[in-house]
């Protein structure tokens, strides 16, 4: 049965939390007294459906059930996790925690607060131990970070359970060891925001020029290495110490106005809002959200290809989801092995409006790679210098896969010996075969660059499967050549 998350406050951030939980298979109950909340969450969810699945080639679990509760009590009833995302006002948050704890006992209650400390949130609570900060970043459905901040009164088991729940929905819980106003990340954002406001107020730069200064340069660096690793590299071969010796003195120079906050006069607000309209007013907020999401997908995918930073979190999440698939996957004898599940994503569609041909080969690789992992020819095996290489493939396109279709890859071993692995892969949509691929793989000594017998432990797994598959009907398309009459 799906687990239940209760989301209290369904604005920008609550909507993002709701989407993240729902798309990861949790049932979600939202409470928000705003009559527009249902519409707003619907729009956030539409954006999330368009973007979150595009981060991965492993299909999302079946979406959970979304409901809107008439009260906090109804929303938190039976919840396994509660996330508070109401407006940033402490007395309001206190009232909300009191209502939650009148019903929910011992359940983790994360607060999205951008700046309040957990001990402030816990003041006057019936049970302070279950309330902690879980501060996410917008858009919550795409960005992995959530700062988890306990206070000395927090129950550390509740904190660990909450961190595990966040990992399960693909997030990166960063445990902040000492509570402080605005946690870790918002301290930076506030500093940069203050400095930027002064630059506009003093007529040094427009909102657009400031954004260019960030996105054409250091913003790109920060997204993949952060601050310290970036500066370490900037120190050249002499590293961090040299960097600090060179740039340390500037900290005493008037390079920033950090402690000084410009007054939010009507004039300053108008100046900033006017420049911002000129810069970005040609797009609606929803259009900007979609542009942002597509940029983030490309950026996060690039990081994923390098197993680096936020991309590593995505890869780890894929691994977890693949492992749970194999626990439940049908790998019984007497049938082709069900090795992969995929979903046709927006980038897989060609100008004919269906899945492009290279993706059939991709789907086949997902299937055969999973099989190779099953028989022990996995990444450790490859790191030790041995692998299977594909020598020949014949693809038959039998149907049209369309956007959003869920596909399954099955594999039947036609023949295997010490060096050769001859397989027949079917790509199915339900029971319909949309493509079949016949493939010959050869076992290779990667250093020597030639074929060699597979390791005994790999053969010990492979050969019994080949023998079992020997009793399966041989696919009619096996051995077929291009142009052969039916
Ligand atoms: N917007 C941002 O960039 C970020 C905001 N946060 C934090 O997330 C929290 C929510 O912020 P946003 O979503 O931006 O604000 P928002 O204004 O978009 O949403 C707040 C929602 O709370 C609802 N609300 C008010 N009283 C309520 C009650 N008694 N019960 C249930 N819902 C109630 C409002 O109707 C509104 O829909 C704040 O604590 C904020 O500091 C955290 C990360 C980023
Ligand atoms: C502006 N803000 C302080 C509400 C920002 C955050 O808390 C995090 C974010 O998503 O930028």
Cβ–ligand 2 contact at 145 (below 6 Å): no
> What is residue 412's predicted lDDT score, i.e. its pLDDT?
97
Whether residue 333 is predicted with pLDDT greater than 70 in this model: the reply is no
Number of neighbouring beta carbons within 10 Å of residue 404: 12
Of 248, 273, 292, the residue that ends a domain is 292
Tell me if 10 is assigned to a ligand binding site: yes
Closest CA to 325 of 360, 373, 387, 382: 373
Contact 231, 241 (CB under 8 A): no
CA distance 229 to 81: 35
End-to-end CA distance of the chain: 47
Nearest CA to ligand 2 atom 10: 137
Distance 195 CA to ligand 1 centre (A): 25
Going from the Cα of 189 to the center of ligand 2, the distance in angstroms, rounded, reads: 7
Atom of ligand 2 at shortest range from CA of 135: 7
Q: Indicate if 160 and 272 belong to the same structural domain.
A: no
The domain boundary residue, chosen from 149, 175, 201? 175
Which residue ranges have their beta carbon within 6 Å of ligand 1? Answer: 8-14, 31-34, 37, 85-88, 92, 96, 112-114, 135-136, 138
Strand partners, 111: 84, 133
Give the chain's domain count: 3
**Based on the domain organization, do 340 and 438 belong to the same domain?**
yes
Closest CA relative to residue 298, chosen from 55, 59, 16? 55
> Within 13 A of 397's CA, how many CA atoms are on the CB side?
10
For residue 241, what pLDDT is reported? 82
Q: Are residues 106 and 26 in the same domain?
A: yes
**Separation of CA 286 and ligand 2 centre (Å):** 18
% of the chain surpassing 70 pLDDT: 98
Claim to verify: residue 31 and residue 102 sit in the same structural domain: yes
- Is the same domain home to 389 and 428? yes
Note whether residue 304 is domain-resident. Answer: no
Whether residue 9 is found in the same domain as residue 79: yes
**DSSP β-ladder status, 450-451 and 432-445:** antiparallel
**Calpha distance 267→201 (Å, rounded):** 9
Which residue puts its alpha carbon closest to atom 9 of ligand 2?
137
Residue 332 annotated in ligand binding: no
Q: How far apart are CA 418 and CA 386, in angstroms?
A: 13
pLDDT of res. 260: 79
Helices 156-168 and 310-328, interaxial angle, to 10°? Answer: 80
C-alpha to C-alpha distances, 84 to 31, 166, 176, 257, nearest whole angstrom: 10, 15, 19, 34
Decide if pLDDT at 151 tops 70.
Answer: yes
Final residue of a domain: which of 117, 143, 175?
175
333 and 389 share one domain: yes
Cβ neighbourhood burial of 294 (10 Å; 0-12, 13-18, 19+): middle
Give 72 Cα–ligand 1 centroid separation in angstroms. Answer: 15
Mutate to test the pocket of ligand 1, among 72, 87, 113 (most ligand atoms within 8 A of CB): 87
Q: Answer yes or no: is 309 within a domain.
A: no
Buried b (16+ CB within 10 A) or exposed e, 78-99: ebbbbbbbbeeeeeebbebbeb
Quick one: pLDDT at residue 357? 95
Instruction: Tell me the DSSP string of 174-191.
Output: EE-SS--TTTTHHHHHHH
d(Cα 364, Cα 428) in Å, to the nearest integer?
A: 11
- Give the pLDDT confidence score for residue 13 in this predicted structure: 98
Residue 379 has what pLDDT? 92
What element of type H or E holds 402? none
Nearest ligand to the CA of 72 is 1
Contacting residues for 268 by C-beta, under 8 A, at least 6 apart: 197, 200, 201, 262
Distance of alpha carbon 9 from alpha carbon 16, whole angstroms = 11
CA 234 / ligand 1 centre spacing (Å): 39
Is the CB–ligand 2 distance for residue 114 below 6 Å?
yes
- We report the CATH number of the domain holding residue 451 as 3.10.129.10
Answer yes or no: is 202 within a domain. yes
The answer, yes or no, to whether any atom of ligand 2 lies below 6 A from the CB of 224, is no
pLDDT-above-90 percentage for the chain:
78
Q: For residue 215, give the DSSP letter.
A: I
- Greatest mean pLDDT among 33-42, 55-64, 259-268, 328-337 lies in 33-42
Nearest ligand atom owner, CA of 183: 2
Residue 477 in any domain: the answer is no
- In this structure, of 18-32, 166-180, 272-286, 333-347, the range with the lowest mean pLDDT score is 333-347
CA of 69 to the centre of ligand 2 (A): 27
Domain region containing 197: 193-292
Residue nearest to atom 3 of ligand 2 (CA): 114
* E strands in 129-239: 131-136, 145-149, 172-175
CA distance 224 to 2: 34
* pLDDT at position 238: 78
Closest to 171 (Cα-Cα) out of 140, 201, 129: 140
DSSP state of 486: -
Residue 460 lies in a domain: yes
Query: Does 199 map to a domain?
Result: yes
Indicate the pLDDT class of residue 325, thresholds 50, 70 and 90: low
Average predicted confidence (pLDDT) for the chain: 93
Q: Would the annotation count 170 as a binding residue?
A: no
**Whether residue 313 has pLDDT greater than 90:** yes
**Rounded Cα distance, 480 and 486, in Å:** 10
- Residue 39 has a pLDDT of 96
pLDDT in tens, 208-267: 999 999 999 999 999 988 888 888 888 888 778 888 888 878 888 878 777 778 888 899
Name the residue with the closest Cα to ligand 1, atom 37: 11
Q: Out of 85, 89, 136, give the residue to mutate to test ligand 1, the one with the largest number of ligand atoms within 8 Å of its CB.
A: 85
Report the nearest-CA residue for atom 35 of ligand 1: 34
- Confidence band, pLDDT 50/70/90 cuts, at residue 328: very low
348 CA distance to ligand 1 middle (Å): 36
331: pLDDT strictly greater than 70:
no
- pLDDT by residue (tens digit) across 10-26? 999 999 999 999 999 99
Q: What are the φ and ψ backbone dihedral angles of 353, each rounded to 5 degrees?
A: 80, 15
Residue 85 confidence (pLDDT): 98
Say yes or no: 337 and 287 in one domain. Answer: no
> Does residue 193's CB lie within 6 angstroms of at least one atom of ligand 2?
no
**What is the token pair recorded at 330?**
């049908």
Tokens 């020597």: give the residue.
448
Q: How confident is the model at residue 334 (pLDDT cuts 50, 70, 90)?
A: low
Q: Tokens at residue 419, please?
A: 């060096």
Other C-beta atoms closer than 10 Å to the C-beta of 483 total 5
Residues 109-127 have pLDDT tens digits of 999 999 999 999 999 999 9
Verify that 24 and 156 share a domain, yes or no.
yes
Q: Higher pLDDT residue, 404 or 322?
A: 404
Residues 71 and 26 in one domain: yes
DSSP string for 5-18: EEEE--SHHHHHHH
Question: What is the mean pLDDT of the segment spanning 431-453?
Answer: 97
Model ipTM value: 0.97
Distance from residue 14's CA to the centre of ligand 1 (Å): 7
In a domain, 478, yes or no: no
Mean pLDDT of 45-53: 93
Per the CB < 8 A criterion, the answer to whether 432 and 408 are in contact is no
Residue 91 has pLDDT above 80, yes or no: yes
| Cβ(371) – ligand 2 distance below 6 Å | no
Q: Which domain CATH number covers 120?
A: 3.40.50.720
Residues 23 and 167 in one domain: yes
Span from the CA of 8 to the centroid of ligand 1 (angstroms): 9
| 160 vs 175: CA distance, rounded Å | 10
The reply to whether 336 falls in a domain is: yes
pLDDT band, residue 308 (cuts 50/70/90):
very high
Residue 344 pLDDT greater than 80, yes or no = yes
Q: Which tens digit of pLDDT belongs to each residue from 380-416? A: 999 999 999 999 999 999 999 999 899 999 999 999 9
Say whether both 148 and 96 belong to one domain.
yes
Helix, strand or coil, per DSSP, at residue 150: coil
Supply the pLDDT for residue 329.
Answer: 42
Q: At what angle do helices 357-374 and 310-328 cross, to 10 degrees?
A: 70
What was the pLDDT predicted at 56?
87
Contact yes or no for 169/50 (Cβ under 8 A): no
* pLDDT, tens digit (0-9, with 9 covering 90-100), for 354-383: 999 999 999 999 999 999 999 999 999 999
Q: Is 13 annotated as ligand-binding?
A: yes
Residues 6+ apart with CB under 8 A from 138: 12, 13, 16
The closest residue, in CA terms, to atom 25 on ligand 1 is 86
Pair 55, 313: CB distance under 8 Å: no
Q: Which ligand is nearest to the CA of 88?
A: 1
Q: Which two tokens stand for residue 359?
A: 């993706």
């Amino acid at each position: 049965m799906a687990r239940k998350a209760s989301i209290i406050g369904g604005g920008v951030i609550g909507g993002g939390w709701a989407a993240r939980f729902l798309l990861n298979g949790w049932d979600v109950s939202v409470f928000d007294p705003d009559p527009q909340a249902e519409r707003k969450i619907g729009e956030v969810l539409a954006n999330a459906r368009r973007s979150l699945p595009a981060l991965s080639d492993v299909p999302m679990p079946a979406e959970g059930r979304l409901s809107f509760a008439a009260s906090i009590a109804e929303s938190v009833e039976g919840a396994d996790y509660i996330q508070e995302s109401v407006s940033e006002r402490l007395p309001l948050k206190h009232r909300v925690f009191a209502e939650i704890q009148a019903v929910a006992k011992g359940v983790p209650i994360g607060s999205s607060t951008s700046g309040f400390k957990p001990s402030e949130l816990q003041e006057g609570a019936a049970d302070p131990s279950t309330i902690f900060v879980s501060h996410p970043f917008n858009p919550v459905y795409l960005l992995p970070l959530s700062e988890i901040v306990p206070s000395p009164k927090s129950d550390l088991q509740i904190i660990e359970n909450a961190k595990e729940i966040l990992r399960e929905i693909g997030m990166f819980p960063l445990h902040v060891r000492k509570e402080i106003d605005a946690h870790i990340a918002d301290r930076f954002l506030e500093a940069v925001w203050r400095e930027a406001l002064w630059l506009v107020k003093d007529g040094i730069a427009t909102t657009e020029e400031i954004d260019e200064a960030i996105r054409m340069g250091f913003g790109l660096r920060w997204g993949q290495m952060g601050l310290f690793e970036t500066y370490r590299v900037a120190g050249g071969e002499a590293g961090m110490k040299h960097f600090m010796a060179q740039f340390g003195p500037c900290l005493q120079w008037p390079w920033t106005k950090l402690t000084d906050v410009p007054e939010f006069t009507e004039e300053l607000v108008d100046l900033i809002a006017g420049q911002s309209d000129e810069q970005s007013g040609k797009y609606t907020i929803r259009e900007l959200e979609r542009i942002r999401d597509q940029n983030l997908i490309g950026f996060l995918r690039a990081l994923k290809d390098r197993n680096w930073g936020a991309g590593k979190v995505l890869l780890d999440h894929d691994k977890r989801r693949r492992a749970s698939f194999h626990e439940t996957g049908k790998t019984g004898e007497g049938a082709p092995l069900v090795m992969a599940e995929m979903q046709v994503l927006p980038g897989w569609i060609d100008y004919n409006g269906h899945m492009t041909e290279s993706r059939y080969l991709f789907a086949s690789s997902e299937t055969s790679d999973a099989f190779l992992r099953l028989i022990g020819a996995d990444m450790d095996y490859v790191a030790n210098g041995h692998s299977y290489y594909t020598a020949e493939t014949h693809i038959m396109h039998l149907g049209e896969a369309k956007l959003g279709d869920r596909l399954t890859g099955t594999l039947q071993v036609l023949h295997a010996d010490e060096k050769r692995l001859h397989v027949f892969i079917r790509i199915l949509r339900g029971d319909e075969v949309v493509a079949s691929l016949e493939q010959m793989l050869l076992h290779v000594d990667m250093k020597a660059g030639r074929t060699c017998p597979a390791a005994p432990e790999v053969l010990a797994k492979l050969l019994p499967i080949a023998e079992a598959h020997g009793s399966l009907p041989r696919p009619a398309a096996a051995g077929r050549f291009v142009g052969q009459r039916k």
